[in-house]
Amino acid sequence: MRGSATDPTSGPGHRRPRRTAVPLAAAALLLPLLGAAPAHTAADSAANRLQHAFATAAADHHVPQSVLLAVSYLQSRWDAHGGAPSVTGGYGPMHLTDARTAIATAEHFADGAEDARGDSARAALRPAVEAPAESALPARLRTLPRAAELTGIPAEELRTDPAANVAGGAALLAAAQRELGEPLSGDPADWYGAVARFSGAEDTATAAAYADDVYDVLRTGGQRVTDDGQLVTLAAQPRLTADTAALARAGLRTLPTDGTECPRSVSCVSVPAPYTEFGDNDYGNHDLGDRPLSQSVKYIVIHDTEGAWEGVMKLIQDPTYVSWHYTIRSTDGLIAQHVKGKDVAWHAGNWFVNAKSVGIEHEGFLASPDAWYTEAMYRSSARLVRYLARTYDVPLDRQHILGHDNVPGPTASSVPGMHTDPGPYWDWRHYFHLLGRPFERTAGRHSGVLTILPDYDANRPVYTGCTTRGEPCTAHGSSEVRLYTDHDVTAPLVRDIGLKKDPTDGVNDLSSRVSTGQQYAVADRWGDWTAIWYLGQKAWFRNPREEPAAVPAKGLVVTPREGLASVPVYGRAYPEKEAYPAGVPAQSVVPLPYSVPAGQRYVAGDEVPGEYYYAVTFTPDSHRVVVGTDLYYEIQYGHRVAFVRAADVTLEGPAG
């Protein structure tokens, strides 16, 4: 899709790393909730400046320090992002928004060029038109100018100075408390309504979901080192109960849910994608189905929008465009549902995956690492994915919770154009922690299988092309690990023959990268280096014991059946020709330009029957789900998943 997006004045912003909070014991020393700010002493270090700024701002504006810290954690996990704006024009630890300064336009999905429907039985979708420019900005995107009015601090200082930014956030919270007619109490339980107002949400459900998350942070506590080396601590208050009565006086509206399919713990609205017939027997922008009765849902696909909320909401309502099931807003985690779970959206560029998946867009940018996602978005997304996983019995692992960049091209010609979002800066480690399925070591050190698991913040591979082709991106944490042809960082990068070009360190080049949570079979070891089987070859990465990039794991693996020199690899698991009934054209089962040579092993996911959803007409009476007898294994083949025929391979394991 294309839509409006946020940029600094000189080009796209850069999202910086964020770190996972570590819960503190309930007995930890409580921070001052309100009172005089501590004086600077010789013992103060540069690493404590931000903690002191929270204490000072809390005292100056009569806001409980714990509330200020918890709100900031949900906004940014206390990171300053070097003064760069978020996807919605938010700045600093308090994510104060100034979208008029930051907003611009950007194209969706970086280098992706595939037909999002991914079904060769139908003509490719025509390009979409540009979304119209935004004519006005809502109040939730203008909190920084309001903070400047309240504090007298210049807007530029609020954008670039973390201490000033915290003071601005404290002023906004205090103003919200006064507007509700509430006293500036020292008890954090009394600030629920002000926290809800601070979210910028215009409806009660979204504001309440945001405030509930803040109070969850208050009860849990946390400690971490921020992106600029600041140690920040929030003591746990496990018995804290919020006074929610003030929310009723906040003047927020109630939005109709219109039968949305969301968990109760999030705010969810309906923005339907149109199912409309137009042109020369064409229609859009999704297909009607009857899932999971007609076919199972096996995947949840994580996307980013490469555009801002208002433009994206216009695009999803364009019948000539593509579709996806949900979009999640950056500022407050609001979820909009567009396509019912029973229906098939056109989002992944692979019809087999589309027919068996739910697609979720997140307001954000792949190649702008400081156009960061808020904690509110991560948490809202995790709640939605947990709900969908329960609803459709989808395993919470990286062969079922896919990034768009993990979806394989369905045919050889489509491989170079497949999309690369959400990219190397999506924090899979933190995301799966929120999903309740943290990645961890599950086997002994000599296991034949491993899980990719770098320290997100310390792992900083060089990428280029975030703003200008060939120019280095800003250094920051990443979920991904680079692969070489030998145990040497000067060795050539691993080549993906399907891309038909030499590998690079470009932010959109997936040739030689593995991602957090993905599992591979070990091919070799050499000192601090480990090799895995990857794209039919041995691929090496640095994996020192003191700073591991992967941990031992258990898992099933497949290898070519005895007597076969190699077996083909497929981008979709389609049925054999004999399975198609009369009136449904048989789809060709053509391998990708890859193979699994004898002796190599790849981690296996589900065993699935060949399946094809025939849906090429507006009226669904001719739609059919064709299921064959030929079975496939999904495998972690390269950066993307792939499929091999079960008859071609032997299943081994569990390894480890």
- Give dist(CA 158, CA 163) in Å, integer: 8
Q: Is the pLDDT of residue 487 over 70?
A: yes
Residues 171 and 60 sit within 8 Å (Cβ to Cβ): no
Mutual angle of helices 143-151 and 162-179, in 10-degree steps:
90
Residues 437 and 397 sit within 8 Å (Cβ to Cβ): yes
Q: Residue 296 is which amino acid?
A: S
Share of the chain above pLDDT 70, in %: 88
- Give dist(CA 32, CA 626) in Å, integer: 64
* Predicted confidence (pLDDT) per residue in 492-520, tens digit: 999 999 999 999 999 999 999 999 999 99
- Position 241 scores a pLDDT of 96
- Give dist(CA 159, CA 143) in Å, integer: 11
Q: Is the pLDDT of residue 43 over 90?
A: no
- Position 474 scores a pLDDT of 86
φ, ψ at 635 (rounded to 5°): -130, 155
Give 501 or 113, the one with higher predicted confidence. Answer: 501
pTM of the model: 0.86
Strand extents, DSSP E, 410-563:
449-452, 480-482, 513-515, 519-526, 529-534, 537-542, 550-553, 555-560
The two three-digit tokens of residue 614, written as one number? 């025939």
Q: Residue 131 is which amino acid?
A: A
Q: What angle do CA 202, 204, 207 make, to 5 degrees?
A: 75
| Among 161, 216, 223, CA closest to 192 | 216
DSSP state of 81: G
Q: Is the pLDDT of residue 480 over 70?
A: yes
Out of 40-44, 456-460, 621-625, least confident range: 40-44
Q: Is the pLDDT of residue 265 over 60?
A: yes
Indicate the average pLDDT of the chain.
88
- Position 118 scores a pLDDT of 76
Q: Which helix (H) or strand (E) holds 50?
A: helix 49-61
Q: Is 628 helix (H, G, I), strand (E, B) or coil?
A: strand
| Among 356, 353, 431, 447, CA closest to 398 | 431
Q: Where are the alpha helices (DSSP H) in 103-262?
A: 143-151, 155-160, 162-179, 192-198, 204-220
- Give dist(CA 189, CA 191) in Å, integer: 6
Q: Please count the residues of the chain.
A: 656
- Give dist(CA 624, CA 622) in Å, integer: 6
* Predicted confidence (pLDDT) per residue in 221-234, tens digit: 999 999 888 999 99
Model confidence at 136, in pLDDT bands (50, 70, 90)?
low
Mean pLDDT of 234-258: 88
DSSP state of 484: B
- Give dist(CA 411, CA 591) in Å, integer: 7
Residues 343 and 287 sit within 8 Å (Cβ to Cβ): yes
| Among 473, 438, 476, CA closest to 456 | 476
Q: Is the pLDDT of residue 9 over 70?
A: no
Q: Is the pLDDT of residue 401 over 70?
A: yes
- Position 112 scores a pLDDT of 56
User: Rounded to the nearest 10 degrees, how much is the dihedral formed by the CA atoms of 143, 149, 155, 159?
Assistant: -40
Q: Is the pLDDT of residue 654 over 50?
A: yes
- Give dist(CA 205, CA 270) in Å, integer: 13
Phi-psi region of 231 (alpha: psi -120 to 50; beta: other; left: phi over 0): beta
Q: Is 328 helix (H, G, I), strand (E, B) or coil?
A: strand
* Predicted confidence (pLDDT) per residue in 78-91, tens digit: 999 888 888 788 99
Q: Is 5 helix (H, G, I), strand (E, B) or coil?
A: strand
- Is residue 179 packed enough to be buried (19+ CB in 10 Å), middle (13-18) or exposed (0-12)? middle
Q: Is 532 helix (H, G, I), strand (E, B) or coil?
A: strand
The two three-digit tokens of residue 99, written as one number? 């979208």
Mean pLDDT of 540-548: 96
Mutual angle of helices 65-76 and 204-220, in 10-degree steps:
110
- Position 114 scores a pLDDT of 64
Q: Name the residue ranges covered by the structural domains of the chain.
A: 2-249, 559-655
Q: Is the pLDDT of residue 148 over 70?
A: yes
Mean pLDDT of 240-259: 85
Q: Is the pLDDT of residue 38 over 70?
A: no
